Chains A and B, each alone.
Chain A
Amino acid sequence: MSYGILSFGAYVPALRLSRGAVLEAVGWAVPGLRGLAAGERAVANWDEDTITMAVEAGRDCLAGMDGPVGHLALASTTLPFTDRSNSGLVADALVLDNHLVTEDLAGSRRAATSALARAAHNQGAMLLLASDCRETRPGSNQEMLYGHGAGAVLLGEGKPIAEFLASASIHEDLVDQYRSADTDYDYALEERWVREEGYFKIVPSVIEQAAREAGIAVADIDRVVLHGSTSVARALAKRLGLAADRFTSDLMAECGDCGAAQPLVMLAHTLEQATPDQYVMVVGFGQGADAVLLRTTPALSAMKTGRGPSRYLARKRELTNYTKFLSLRNQISIDFGLRSERDNRTALSAFYRKRRDITSMLGGRCRECNTLQFPRSLVCVKCGASDTQQPESLAGLTGRVKSFTEDWLAYTPSPPYVYGNVEFADGANIMLEFTDFAPGEVKVGDPVRLVFRIKDFDPKRNFRRYFWKPAPVMD
Chain B
Amino acid sequence: MAKGIKDKVAIIGMGCTRFGERWDCGPEELIVEAFREALADAGVDRNDIEMAWLGLFFQEQSAGKSALPLSMSLRLPNIPVTRVENMCATGTEALRGAVYAVAAGACDIALAVGVEKLKDTGYPGLPERSKGTFDDLWLPNATAPGAFAQLASAYQARHQCNPTDMKRAMAHISVKSHANGALNPKAHLRREITEEQAMNAPMIAAPLGLYDCCGVSDGAACAIVTSVEKAREMGIKDMVTVKAMQLAPSNGLEMSNNAWDGSYLLTTRIAAERAYKEAGISDPRKELDMTEVHDCFSVTELVVMEDLGLCPEGGAIKAVLDGEFDRDGNVPCQIDGGLKCFGHPIGASGLRMAYEMYLQLLGRAGERQLASPSLGLTHNLGGHPFRNVASVSVFGLHSA
Contact = CB atoms under 8 A, between A and B. Distances in A.
Interface of A: 338-339, 341-347, 350-351, 353-354, 357-358, 371, 373-375, 377, 381-382, 402-412, 416-417, 419-421, 423, 427-433, 444-445, 455-456, 465, 467
B153 A420 contact: yes
B257 A403 contact: no
Interface residues on B, range: 35 or more
B43 interface: no
Contacts of A405: 145-147, 149-150, 153, 205-206, 208
A409 B149 CA distance: 12
Interface stretch (B70-78, B92-100, B259-267): B259-267
B151 interface: yes
B141 A421 contact: no
B372 interface: no
Contacts of A343: 130-131
Contact of B157 (A375, A381, A445): A445
B257 A402 contact: no
Given A338-B128, A407-B146, A427-B258, 20 more contacts: A341-B128, A342-B131, A343-B130, A345-B132, A347-B136, A350-B134, A357-B138, A373-B256, A375-B134, A405-B149, A405-B153, A406-B203, A407-B143, A409-B204, A409-B205, A421-B255, A427-B257, A428-B256, A431-B139, A467-B137
Given A338-B122, A407-B205, A373 B262 contact: no
Contact of B133 (A350, A377, A409, A444): A350
Contact of B150 (A342, A347, A381, A403): A403
9 contacts: A338-B128, A342-B141, A345-B131, A347-B134, A405-B146, A419-B140, A420-B153, A429-B260, A444-B153
A381 B123 contact: no
A419 B255 CA distance: 13
Contact of B138 (A339, A344, A358): A358
Interface in B229-264: 251-263
Nearest to A359: B137
A404 B150 contact: yes
B142 interface: yes
Nearest to A465: B137
A342 B257 contact: no
B206 A409 contact: no
Across the A-B interface, the 8 shortest Cβ-Cβ residue pairs: A407-B146, A405-B149, A403-B150, A403-B154, A419-B140, A433-B140, A407-B205, A444-B157
Q: At the interface, is chain A mostly helix, strand, loop or mixed?
A: mixed
B351 to A, nearest CB: 27
Contacts of A432: 140
B125 interface: yes
Interface in B80-137: 122-123, 125, 128-134, 136-137
A363 B255 CA distance: 13
Given A382-B253, A428-B257, A430-B256, A409 B131 contact: no
A420 B139 CA distance: 10
Contacts of B325: none
B143 A338 contact: no
Contacts of A374: 256
B346 to A, nearest CB: 17
Contact of A344 (B131, B143, B149, B153): B131
B137 A350 contact: yes
Contact of A444 (B122, B156, B256): B156
Given A342-B128, A347-B132, A374-B256, A403 B143 contact: no
A15 B141 CA distance: 23
A382 B386 CA distance: 15
A151 B203 CA distance: 41
A342 B146 CA distance: 17
Contacts of A373: 256-257
A345 to B, nearest CB: 6
Contact of B255 (A347, A382, A429): A429
A409 B156 contact: no
A51 to B, nearest CB: 16
Given A402-B154, A408-B204, A409-B125, A381 B256 contact: yes
Interface in B193-211: 203-206, 208
A409 B147 CA distance: 11
Contact of B143 (A346, A357, A409): A409
Contacts of A433: 140-141
A257 to B, nearest CB: 34
A416 B138 contact: no
A406 B153 CA distance: 11
Nearest to B156: A444
A464 to B, nearest CB: 12
Contacts of B254: 429
Contact of A403 (B128, B141, B157): B157
B204 A403 contact: no
B285 to A, nearest CB: 28
Contacts of B253: 381-382
Nearest to B262: A403
Contacts of A353: 134
B137 A358 contact: yes
Nearest to B155: A403
Given A444-B157, A467-B138, A382 B132 contact: no
A412 B142 CA distance: 10
Contacts of B133: 347, 350
Contacts of A347: 132-134, 136
Nearest to A440: B206
Contact of B142 (A341, A407, A423): A407
Contacts of B140: 410, 417, 419, 431-433
A65 to B, nearest CB: 28
A345 B128 CA distance: 13
Contacts of B143: 407, 409-410, 417
B137 A351 contact: yes
B258 A423 contact: yes
Contact of B262 (A338, A341, A382, A402): A402
Given A408-B203, A432-B140, A350 B157 contact: no
Q: Which interface residue of B134, B146, B208 has the most chain A CB atoms within 10 A? A: B146
A411 B128 CA distance: 10
B138 A455 contact: yes
